[in-house]
Chains A and B, each alone.
Chain A
Amino acid sequence: GQNIDQPTEMTATEGAIVQINCTYQTSGFNGLFWYQQHAGEAPTFLSYNVLDGLEEKGRFSSFLSRSKGYSYLLLKELQMKDSASYLCAVRDRDYKLSFGAGTTVTVRA
């Protein structure tokens, strides 16, 4: 099974940087995903890490350390539209994805 922990809420100012941490314990790691979910909508894919290191995709970057069971999602140059929930998810060897409870990010002007 998977235990996935991430902060419940974070608040940041428009134009700033926010880092959302995720720690996990898993019986069979096979990749870590980050999803974005706006209120009342379906989750959408942001990033995928399977090897240690940083993956950069525009304003969003995701980092993984498998030995520490740790990942973070970095959001740069925050915009109001980035206000959403960010979901950390771990995939096991059966290709099942388990999600953390999500971090609600509020961007203030």
Chain B
Amino acid sequence: IAGITQAPTSQILAAGRRMTLRCTQDMRHNAMYWYRQDLGLGLRLIHYSNTAGTTGKGEVPDGYSVSRANTDDFPLTLASAVPSQTSVYFCASSDGTATGELFFGEGSRLTVL
């Protein structure tokens, strides 16, 4: 089934540890995004990539990095996790056209202790 796959689904992490959330899509979409969702704050954009080889900062990029080596993969890395990064992380992709909606992965629930 075509779509977006995120891993892990859920993770508990000690503060200070490095963590990479994986995201893979098989729809050949040009644009990919990482959001975090927190109660009362909605979805906030962390980083995005409009095409392979390019990335950009969103609304809340501090403490996170991304890479886009190819069209399909868009990993999100927390270099040194802190408790405020406890959240649900959603990866999304879009074909980048005028009417292109976002397709979301199932989310990764991260708890930093």
Chain A contacts for B74, CB-based, 8 A: none
B45 contacts A96, C-beta separation under 8 Å:
yes
Chain A contacts for B31, CB-based, 8 A: 95
A46 (CB) vs chain B CBs: closest residue: B101
B31 (CB) vs chain A CBs: closest residue: A95
A102 contacts B102, C-beta separation under 8 Å:
no
Known: A33-B101, A42-B104. A96 touches B58 (CB 8 A): yes
Chain A contacts for B48, CB-based, 8 A: 96
A43 in contact (CB, < 8 A): yes
B53 in contact (CB, < 8 A): no
Known: A41-B106, A50-B98. A100 touches B42 (CB 8 A): yes
Known: A48-B99, A95-B96, A97-B33. A43 touches B106 (CB 8 A): no
- Scoring B35, B56, B102 by chain A CB atoms within 10 A of each residue's CB, the highest score goes to B102
B41 contacts A42, C-beta separation under 8 Å:
no
Known: A96-B58, A98-B59. A43 touches B42 (CB 8 A): no
A101 contacts B41, C-beta separation under 8 Å:
yes
A interface residues (Cβ-Cβ under 8 A, vs B): 1, 31, 33, 35, 41-45, 48, 50, 87, 89, 94-102
Known pairs A50-B99, A100-B42, A101-B40; list 13 more (Cβ under 8 Å): A31-B99, A41-B106, A43-B43, A43-B90, A43-B104, A48-B99, A89-B43, A94-B50, A95-B31, A95-B50, A95-B96, A96-B33, A98-B45
